[in-house]
């Protein structure tokens, strides 16, 4: 019976909206960009997620600008720039995070979209390492492009790697970025980064699940984005992750055909 307003249509905002709706709350979600999940999620999948939320009764307002957040009795009021007022018992802001780099800056470390580290997670000071959401690092599978990932598996992998390298292991970061999110009965999984993709191939699977494979201009697999009930896409996304790590250039027709096992493409 409570009324919740969520600011931000990314993974956290949408997961919160789904959970709150399942628990019986009324939910309004406000997003400043033209669609939800704008960062890293293909429009085809984002539209499916938005439709599922709306079918559940979540009100989604995109392209909105916030004029003010005010107290209103025992609750709060969200005033939008177009004059619309949204009354709520609780407002949750889920618009992303700024990396905490103050200590690193005070130590004189290089900063570039977070604490800059090399492929071994070493900062500009050879005695200091950084790992997790606070650091940006080069991705070998994407030409050394520097990224900062806000995902638990990245933090876990980097924590292990930083600890090993602090003891002299000198191992390099080689994992492929991976993200996931649960929305009602759907699980969304993404391996790799689709920026720079020149072609997208769709593979339809059982139970309405599907995967989008993103290829560069030379046919190399850059990323795979999948959605379906439960773990419907989990195995193939994991295999796609391995194909990305191998620098594979699979045939588009083979990727599109559910009869072609990705494990076979990996072996080839």
Share the mean pLDDT of the chain: 96
Mean pLDDT of the 38-44 span: 93
Mean pLDDT of the 64-89 span: 96
Residue 123 burial by Cβ neighbours in a 10 Å radius (0-12, 13-18, 19+): buried
Residue 49: predicted pLDDT: 97
Token pair belonging to 205: 């699977």
Cα dihedral across residues 177, 195, 212, 208: positive or negative: positive
Least confident span in 86-90, 173-177, 255-259: 173-177
Mean pLDDT of the 107-112 span: 98
Residue 196: predicted pLDDT: 87
Task: Grade residue 3 by pLDDT with cuts at 50, 70 and 90.
Answer: very high
Domains detected in the chain = 3-93 (3.50.50.60), 102-166 (3.50.50.60), 178-267 (3.30.390.30)
**Element (DSSP H or E) covering residue 180:** strand 178-183
Residue 91: predicted pLDDT: 97
pTM score, whole prediction: 0.92
Q: Is 237 left (phi over 0), alpha (psi -120 to 50) or beta?
A: alpha
Owner of token pair 């191939």? 201
Task: Grade residue 174 by pLDDT with cuts at 50, 70 and 90.
Answer: confident
Asked if 60 and 50 touch (Cβ cutoff 8 Å), the reply is yes
Q: What's the rounded Cα separation, in Å, for the pair 238 and 230?
A: 15
Query: What secondary structure letter does DSSP report for 177?
Result: P
| pLDDT of residue 236 exceeding 90 | yes
Residue 92: predicted pLDDT: 97
Q: What's the rounded Cα separation, in Å, for the pair 88 and 146?
A: 40
Q: What is the pLDDT of residues 119-158, one digit of tens each?
A: 999 999 999 999 999 999 999 989 899 999 998 999 999 9
Sheet holding 90-93, edge to edge: 59-61, 26-30, 3-7, 90-93
């Amino acid at each position: 019976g409570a009324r919740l307003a969520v600011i931000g249509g990314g993974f956290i905002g949408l997961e919160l909206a789904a959970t709150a709706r399942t628990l019986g709350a009324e939910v309004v979600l406000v997003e400043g960009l033209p669609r939800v999940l704008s960062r890293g999620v293909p429009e085809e999948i984002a539209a499916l997620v938005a439709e599922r939320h709306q079918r559940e009764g979540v009100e989604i307002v995109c392209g909105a600008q916030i004029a003010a957040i005010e107290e209103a009795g025992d609750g709060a009021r969200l005033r939008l720039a177009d004059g619309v007022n949204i009354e709520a018992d609780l407002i949750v802001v889920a618009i992303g995070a700024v990396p905490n780099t103050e200590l690193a800056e005070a130590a004189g470390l290089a900063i570039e979209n977070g604490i800059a580290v090399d492929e071994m997670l070493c900062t500009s000071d050879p005695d200091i390492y950084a790992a997790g959401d606070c650091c940006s690092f080069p991705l070998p599978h994407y030409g050394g492009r520097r990224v900062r990932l806000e995902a638990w598996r990245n933090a876990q992998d980097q924590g292990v790697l930083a600890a090993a390298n602090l003891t002299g292991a000198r191992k390099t970061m080689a994992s492929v970025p991976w993200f996931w999110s649960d929305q009602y009965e759907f699980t969304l999984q993404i391996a790799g980064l689709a920026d720079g993709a020149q072609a997208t191939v769709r593979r339809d699977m059982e139970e309405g699940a599907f995967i989008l494979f993103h290829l560069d201009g030379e046919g190399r697999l850059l990323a795979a984005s999948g959605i379906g009930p439960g773990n419907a896409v989990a195995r193939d996304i994991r295999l796609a992750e391995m194909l990305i790590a191998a620098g594979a250039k699979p045939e588009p027709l083979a990727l599109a055909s559910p009869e072609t096992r990705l494990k076979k493409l990996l072996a080839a």
